[in-house]
Structures are given as structure tokens and as C-alpha cells.
Structure 1
């Protein structure tokens, strides 16, 4: 006779009651971005659980990008509600990539789908002031990336900001967060794939030229061209880095 223990419902962990309550309070508007969560003792008493279980819940919320924790006293101490969805998504993706349950190739393909969609969906006229600001900031990032001898990690950071900002022109916050999380989830694998500084400098030269082409197409409102250049850019770097 087969045991049914594996298929039987698992008892809820104590910290899950805190997560459920916070989710409900966010949905109802009782909790808002910037609000401070009650202290450990108050949450423990309210939910009838230990303070250790409360700390588990806060750590999970922190890892999910839902709260920022700090010590001390005052309005910014303890756990303050924030919302940084890319943090939680990227952390989860990074672990699954590391476990080899998600391949870097699949992450790259997903990123291409998101970025090319965002490029084709960008509408510079829907909010001209914001569009002009995004294009100004991305132009500044290009200038920073063009500095000779720029440190590789600095380049990757500027590169990430450039792509995320351009994707924001599509006006879809979910796509923007997902795209950033996909980039962050493989950032270490990308930086480690290029072994030598000499090889990196050759690659960086091409990346700079590609970035400028993408930026020009976006600024001109040519979504199809920007999408094509983005696909070529991402595929080229992934292929090139795998060969080194």
C-alpha cells in the first residue's frame, strides 16, 4: 500500500500567517509604501506565534524586495514597506539558474522577447516630457560607457541601467521589472564568461557601437529597427562570450 503522506497537505508554517496578513493589508490599503510594520513583539502577539517566526517572515519579505530593514529607532527603523519587484525575481531566478533548472540560454531568449517587445511598443508621444528625460539619461549612460578603460563591472552596471531605462518607454511596469530581473539573474555568469581584460576590451568596443545604434533607433521612434538591433546585440554578446 502506497503512503499518502507525500501528497497530503502540509501544515502552514507559522511565519506564513504574517505574510498573509501583510498581503491582505496591502490589498486593502491599510498598509502603503513607506509605512513601517509593527514591531516583532506586536506581530508575534497579534498572530499568536513566536518572535523567531516573525523574524522569518520579515527576512522573506526583505528577500522579496517588499520591505527594507534597519536597526535603531525612528520612522525609518525596523521594517519599512517598499516595492522593488526585480530584487525578489532576480534572486529567485539566480538560484534556479545556479541549480541548472533554468538555463542561461532560456534566460537570454526571454530577455530578447521582453526587450524587443518593449522597443516595438515604445510610444515617445504618449508622455513627451518623460520620454525626453529617459533619452537624456540613456545618452548620459552611453557617454559614461564610452570612457576608455572603464572597469568591467562599472560597464555592466551602466549597461543594465541603459537597457532597463529604454524598456521603460513601453510604459509597462511588469515588463520593466521582469526585464531587469532577467539581466540581474545572469549578471555574474555574463561577467565571468569573459576571461581576460584584452578580450573584454574588444567586446566592449562592439557593445558601445551597438548601444549607440539602438539608442538612435529608439530616439527616432523606429521601434522595428530598435527591436532588430536589440536582438542582434543580445544574441551577439551571448554567442561571443560563450566562445571565449
Structure 2
């Protein structure tokens, strides 16, 4: 069988699988029908089925394995957050997101994450503390310090336990690191800024650990907006 519209036929397969996921016919751990069966049922070529499966795998919605047995074929994954992060990274690489929009999204995500962590009171903050400890090392180059800074914020998002928030932060990490590195070049006194950032990070973590959600939220907002302003970047409210 050959596709009548090869450029669009793979979308038919995507829409079919999307529909099955939405109505509950398919779920995490379920195996997709074989390529030959999907091609026959949908009236498309097997090449179109394979193309659709490649897209789904990149998106993190399925995993595929060759051979036979219980692990072979295409299986719906239970945690597709890696695919979401990868798609966001690709959009960032293609300059699909304005920095001001990344900045606003970061505020939304991080304010929620730190408030949630403080309210929970039982989150594992080991990785976040490790990032802070690494930032305290002497003679760190600005780029190394800022990479650890971005890691600290990502670790807090991951500790929140919300897979979508963590995946979104991971996907935006390249953009966040990019604008904070660019901003560092405009700072008149990097050493003073780095010292201030260390104290602000520690204050955010302390507020989380003491269960003060309002303080954690206010501190992380002041931390992010303060650096953005000090680096001379235009706030979204100033956009024309």
C-alpha cells in the first residue's frame, strides 16, 4: 500500500494514537498495535506509521524496541517529561521564545515551586544544597557560577514533585542560562553580585526549610527580578 498524501499520512497515525490516549483506550505501559496493523486500519503506508512512531518517541510518549517478547514493539511510557523538556530545548535553540516570555514563565514556575516546597515541609533538598555548596567554592569563573545558579533553580523545581514544572524548567534551562550569562557581561562588579546571589539563594532555601511559603515566594521573585534589572534587561512591563 502507498500513501495518497505522504506528507500528511503520518499525521493520521498521530491523531489516531492521540485519540486513543485521550479516551483511555491506550495508557502507560500499553503496547501499540503492530506497524502492519496500524497501516492497514488507517489506510496509510508503513513508512508513515514509522515516521509517526519516531515523532512520538522524540516526544517521549513511547519507547520502541526491536525483536520479540514483552519488551519489544512500541510501548506508551508512564513519564514522558523528558520529551517535553527536549521539545522546549529545541524551541529555545530555534529562538522560538522571546527572553521576556521565558523570564515571566520562570517567575510563575519558581514562585509556585518554592511556595509548594515550603508548604510541604518534607521535600528532599539535597541536590539544591549541593548546588549551593558548589557555588561557595572560591575562584569560580562567572560562567561556572551561573551554570550552578541555573542548576540550583532547576533542582528546586524537581524537588517540588511536579513533573510538568520540572520538565518545563529543564527545557527552558538553556534560555535561562543564556540570558543570565549575557547579563553578567553588563554588571559593573561581578564579585559583589556573586556574593549577593549566594546570600539570596541561601535565604530562599532557609525560607523553604522553615516552612515560610510567603517569604520563599517573595525572596525568589526579588532574586530573579533583581538580577534581571541589574543586568540592564528590559522588564516585560516595559515592552512596547
What is the TM-score when the length of structure 1 is the normalising length?
0.68
Give, in whole Å, the separation in 2 of the partners of 1:240 and 1:41.
59
Q: Do the aligned partners of residues 184 and 64 (structure 1) sit closer, same or farther apart at CA in structure 2, a change above 3 Å counting?
A: farther
Matched, 1:138 2:128: yes
Equivalent residue in structure 2 for 1:117, among 112, 118, 138: 112
Q: Deviations over 1:87-116 (max 9, x none)?
A: 33662475267445x310121012112322
Alignment check: 8 A CA contact 1:63 1:88 kept: no
Paired position in structure 2 for 1:162: 155
Paired position in structure 2 for 1:14: 9
Summarize the alignment of residues 34-113 of structure 1 with structure 2, pairs less than 5 Å apart: 34-70=29-65, 75-82=70-77, 83-85=79-81, 87-88=83-84, 91-92=87-88, 94-95=90-91, 98-99=94-95, 102-113=97-108
Paired position in structure 1 for 2:223: 233
Following TM superposition, by how much is the alpha carbon of 1:121 offset from its aligned partner in structure 2, in angstroms?
4.5
Give, in whole Å, the separation in 1 of the partners of 2:43 and 2:11.
12
Following TM superposition, by how much is the alpha carbon of 1:238 offset from its aligned partner in structure 2, in angstroms?
3.3
Paired position in structure 1 for 2:22: 27
Give, in whole Å, the separation in 2 of the partners of 1:121 and 1:107.
21
Runs of 4+ deviating beyond 6 Å:
199-202
Paired position in structure 2 for 1:3: none
Following TM superposition, by how much is the alpha carbon of 1:167 offset from its aligned partner in structure 2, in angstroms?
4.0
Q: Do the aligned partners of residues 46 and 156 (structure 1) sit closer, same or farther apart at CA in structure 2, a change above 3 Å counting?
A: farther
SS for the counterpart of 2:74 is: strand
SS for the counterpart of 2:125 is: helix
Q: Do the aligned partners of residues 137 and 96 (structure 1) sit closer, same or farther apart at CA in structure 2, a change above 3 Å counting?
A: closer
Following TM superposition, by how much is the alpha carbon of 1:217 offset from its aligned partner in structure 2, in angstroms?
0.5
Summarize the alignment of residues 177-216 of structure 1 with structure 2, pairs less than 5 Å apart: 177-181=167-171, 183-184=172-173, 186-187=175-176, 189-190=178-179, 193=182, 204-216=194-206
Give, in whole Å, the separation in 1 of the partners of 2:39 and 2:57.
18
What is the TM-score when the length of structure 2 is the normalising length?
0.69
Aligned residues: 221
In structure 2, list runs of 5 or more residues that go unmatched. Answer: 1-6, 234-240
